[in-house]
Amino acid sequence: MNKKRIIHQDVYISVLLMILGVYLFYLTTKMMPEAARFPRMALGVFMILMVWTFVDGVRKSIAATNVQEKKDIRLLKWEQNKMPFALFVITVAYAIGLDFLGFFTATAIFIPVVMLFFRCRNIKLIAGVTIGTLLFVYLMFVVFLHAALP
C-alpha cells in the first residue's frame, strides 16, 4: 500500500519559530546581562514549548500518514487562504495609500475596491457604503472627537 507522507503544519511552524528563537537569543548576547535576563527567560520557555509542539507535530504527522482515511489535521491550504491573503495585500496597499494620499482619498478608493473584490456589483450600495463611511468618520472623528487622521 502506498502511503503518502504527510507533514503536519505544527512541524513547519515549530521549526520556523525555533529558528526565530535562536536568532533572538543571538541578539540577546549583544545586550547587557541585566537587560538580557528577562528576554532569555521568556525565550527559554518559548523554545521548550516549541520543542514540545515539534514533537507533537511529528506524532501527528506519523498518525496522519498511517491512517488511510485522512481526517482533518488542520493543514493550512492555499485554496482556503487565498482570499484572506489577497485582502491583506489590498489592506497593506491601503495603508501605504493612507501615507501618500491621505485618509479620505485613500479610503474613497479602498472601500469600492474591497467591495468589488467581494464581488459586490451594486453600484448604489458601493457608493452608499463609501460615502456613508467617510461621512461617519468625518463627523465622529474630525468634528466630534477632533482626532488627527493620516
Q: Which is nearer to another protein, 2 or 87 (CB)?
A: 87
- Please state, in angstroms and rounded to a whole number, the distance separating the CA atoms of residues 51 and 9: 14
Cβ at position 133, least distance to another protein in Å: 5
Closest CB to another protein among 5 and 124?
124
Closest to another protein by CB, 62 or 92: 92
Instruction: For residues 78 and 86, give the distance between their C-alpha atoms in angstroms, rounded to a whole number.
Output: 11
**Minimum distance, C-beta of residue 141 to another protein, in the bound complex (Å):** 6
Other CB atoms within 10 A of residue 120 CB: 13
- Smallest separation, CB 75 to another protein (Å): 9
Q: How far is the CB of 3 from another protein (least distance, A)?
A: 21
Cα-to-chain-centroid distance, residue 148: 27
- Mind giving me the DSSP string for 18-69? HHHHHHHHHHHTTS-HHHHHHHHHHHHHHHHHHHHHHHHHHHHHHHHHH-SS
- Beta-carbon neighbour count of residue 110 at 10 Å? 20
Which residues of this protein are in contact with another protein, per CB under 8 A?
9-10, 13, 17, 24, 27-28, 31-32, 34-39, 41-43, 45-46, 49-50, 52-53, 56, 74, 76, 80-81, 83-84, 87-88, 91-92, 94-95, 98-99, 103, 107, 110-111, 114-115, 117-120, 125, 129, 133, 137, 140-141, 145-150
